[in-house]
Amino acid sequence: MLRNLTRTKQSVLRLSTRSLATTSIPTTQKAIIFDKNNGPLEYKDIPVPKPKPNEILINVKYSGVCHTDLHAWKGDWPLPTKLPLVGGHEGAGVVVALGDEVKNFKIGDLAGIKWLNGSCQSCEYCVNGFESNCAQADLSGYTHDGSFQQYATADAVQAAKIPQGTDLAGVSPILCAGITVYKALKTAHLKAGDIVAISGAGGGLGSLAVQYAKAMGYRVLAIDGGKEKGELVKSLGAEFYVDYQSSPDLIEEIQSKTKGGPHGVINVSVSDKAISQSTKFVRSTGSVVLVGLPPNAVVHSDVFNHVIKSISIKGSYVGNRADTREAIEFFTRGLVKSPIKVVGLSELPGVYELMEQGKILGRYVVDTSK
Ligand code: 8ID
Ligand code: ZN
């Protein structure tokens, strides 16, 4: 029904940026926007944003739907969102306008909207390549309107460079899920041949984590619930699958399959129970990496176990610009594929429902033209 709504008006806006003499940009566009957390997700016409001098304007073609977008809409994290808000932070599209200060993009380039839309570039964290930890971090689909709209702005320094010819629907989940799991795997400090457990392996982050882990030379034990998720992760290269919904003793099963526990664990589930369990089944001297962000979660690690097994627990938060470039290169080289299902932008509320119920296999991607 919503698909049949009339197309965006093509009235032309002339912005005062140097690039626009050659580009026609509509004044309004379709977006999914909400006024309050948990409030109605409205599919409607809103104005096309104007890029600031440091920004590019991207005509977003596709956007992945991350579980973080659901957290943002619900407002269940201890960090307020801007309101009203256009969510989305896995947007892939074409550069259609450049702010006056932009030097690193040109019209027609392919570019990506990432979670980190912009940062100060001069604090201790930014200069050391930890720009996601910048106190002034501006977040797409959270503090800055994101990619669930046809035109979105991004700081040119942080926007992802996507090579010409790249499949834009397929690359979109790499822009958060891919970068994040690639960085998390680096954070686990594993070596080729080590076993890494991916907890939440059948979801958006997990299905990419399985593939990055394989491409990086690790053996993968995947954990998720149900037969279909088991089939998916095995098709992506997992050597073992443990079903948390039916395993009689998850810790025992993992330790026996891996002969003593995995060397690292990447926690991408949205379950605090699963996170605490991972401190028990990880191998001695192994690393537990925290990525998934269940609301109000606390990780419980038995101190005796923690010390005697000499394990480490580390947080990992998206990735920096180098991680972005590298993660995209794994995709463009064909080493990881995005297990996606494409639906219209107007269908986003239904995607959130499926996600809430844990029924999504891989990633849903929205096509902003529908
Ligand atoms: O930078 C970061 N740290 C970062 C970046 C991006 C996303 C963190 N995240 C966070 C999201 O905000 C979210 O909290 O990572 C989490 C996972 O995001 P996602 O992959 O986009 O979610 P999903 O597609 O819903 O997948 C979650 C999977 O976890 C499984 C589900 O079945 C689903 O496949 N799962 C659950 I829920 N409970 C489980 C359990 N007990 C479980 N798998 C194993 N054991
Ligand atoms: Zn995300």
Check residue 88 and give its pLDDT: 98
State the pLDDT at residue 3: 39
Give the fold, CATH level 3, of 179-315.
Answer: Rossmann fold (3.40.50)
Over residues 350-355, mean pLDDT: 97
Does residue 180's CB lie within 6 angstroms of at least one atom of ligand 1?
yes
Which ligand is closest in space to the CA of residue 115? 2
User: What is the atom index within ligand 1 of the atom nearest the CA of 226?
Assistant: 32
Mean pLDDT on 249-274:
98
pTM for the predicted model, two decimal places = 0.94
Q: What average pLDDT does this structure show over 300-321?
A: 97
| CATH topology match: 12-176+321-367 vs 179-315 | no
Distance 137 CA to ligand 2 centre (A): 15
Query: What is the pLDDT at residue 22?
Result: 47
**Residue 291: CB partners within 8 Å, gap ≥ 6?**
180, 181, 184, 205, 266, 267, 268, 316
The average pLDDT across 38-60 equals 98
What is the predicted pLDDT for the residue at 23? 56
Please give the number of the atom of ligand 1 that sits closest to the Cα of 290: 3
Mutation test of ligand 1: which of 174, 176, 181, 205 has the most ligand atoms closer than 8 Å to its C-beta? 205
The kind and range of the H/E element at 303 are: helix 303-308
CA–centroid distance, 93 to ligand 2, in Å, is 17
Arch. (CATH architecture) of 12-176+321-367: Alpha-Beta Complex (3.90)
**Can you tell me the mean pLDDT for 303-331?**
98
pLDDT tops 60 at residue 20: no
Is 216 close to ligand 1, i.e. is its CB under 6 Å away? no
Is residue 274 within 8 Å of residue 199, measured between CB atoms?
A: yes
Q: Which residues are bridge partners to 223 per DSSP?
A: 199, 242
Q: What are phi and psi of 277, to 5 degrees?
A: -60, -35
Domain boundaries, the chain: 12-176+321-367, 179-315
Average pLDDT over all residues of the chain: 94
- Nearest C-alpha to atom 9 of ligand 1 is from which residue? 292
Tell me the mean pLDDT in the region 330-335: 98
> Which pLDDT band holds residue 1 (cuts at 50, 70, 90)?
very low
The torsion angles phi and psi of 336, rounded to 5 degrees, stand at -130, 145
pLDDT for residue 335 is more than 70: yes
CA of 193 to the centre of ligand 1 (A): 25
pLDDT above 80: residue 28: yes
Using the atom order of ligand 1, give the atom closest to the CA of residue 355: 25
